[in-house]
């Protein structure tokens, strides 16, 4: 539970930071419409060796609550993983309404039946969080495919987009 709480807090902080960088608190509109089926090709994220190295390193880290945030730099939209088991997390704050709908369809192909909504904290300080989540059991190849699906099919970025990494 401690790892999950730390992960959620860092997710919220990253969201607030990314919104302040864009100068807004609302997600930006999506790019052009795209196909809804996930790609059936092998992993081809444009910088796959760097990504594979980063995600593999996450599975081997020994610090308390490790995680990796993969961000498209111009928009600050992101997807993240926590822990050595590669817990996939795509929070609703980074998604437009159209992207939420695409994510629900596309991520179903990866075993995520829909976004989960859960309570964080209690009383007046608590809030409800909604996110697409799945424990990948340390499967690096599955993580790469899911990041590609989010970046290129849910968000609609081109394969030449600039990706940044934040590791904790």
Q: What is the pLDDT of residues 18-53, one digit of tens each?
A: 443 444 333 333 333 333 344 433 344 544 688 889
Task: Please count the structural domains in the chain.
Answer: 1
Range of the domain at 114: 2-21+47-167
Q: Please indicate, yes or no, if residue 29 is contained in any of the structural domains.
A: no
Could you tell me if residue 33 is inside a domain?
A: no
User: How does pLDDT run across 100-117, given as a tens digit for each residue?
Assistant: 999 999 999 999 999 999
Q: How far apart are CA 107 and CA 95, in angstroms?
A: 14
In a domain? residue 42: no
What does the pLDDT read at residue 116? Answer: 94
Average pLDDT over the chain reads 78
Cα 124 to Cα 121: distance, rounded to the nearest angstrom = 9
In a domain, 40, yes or no: no
Instruction: Identify the residue with better confidence: 32 or 89.
Output: 89
- CA dihedral sign of residues 104, 4, 148, 142: negative
pTM, 2 dp: 0.73
């Amino acid at each position: 539970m401690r790892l999950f709480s730390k992960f959620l807090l860092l997710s919220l902080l990253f969201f607030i930071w990314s919104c302040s960088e864009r100068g807004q608190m609302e997600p930006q509109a999506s790019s052009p419409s795209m196909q809804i089926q996930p790609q059936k090709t092998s992993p081809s994220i444009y910088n796959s060796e760097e990504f594979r190295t980063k995600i593999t390193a996450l599975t081997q880290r020994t610090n308390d609550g490790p995680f990796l945030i993969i961000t498209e730099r111009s928009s600050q939209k992101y997807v993240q993983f926590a822990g050595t088991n590669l817990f996939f997390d795509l929070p609703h704050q980074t998604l437009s309404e159209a992207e939420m709908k695409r994510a629900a369809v596309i991520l179903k192909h990866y075993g995520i039946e829909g976004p989960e909504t859960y309570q964080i904290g209690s009383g007046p300080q608590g809030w409800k969080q909604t996110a697409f989540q799945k424990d990948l059991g340390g499967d690096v190849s599955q993580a790469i495919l899911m990041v590609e699906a989010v970046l290129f099919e849910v968000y609609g970025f081109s394969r030449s987009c600039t990706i940044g990494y934040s590791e904790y």
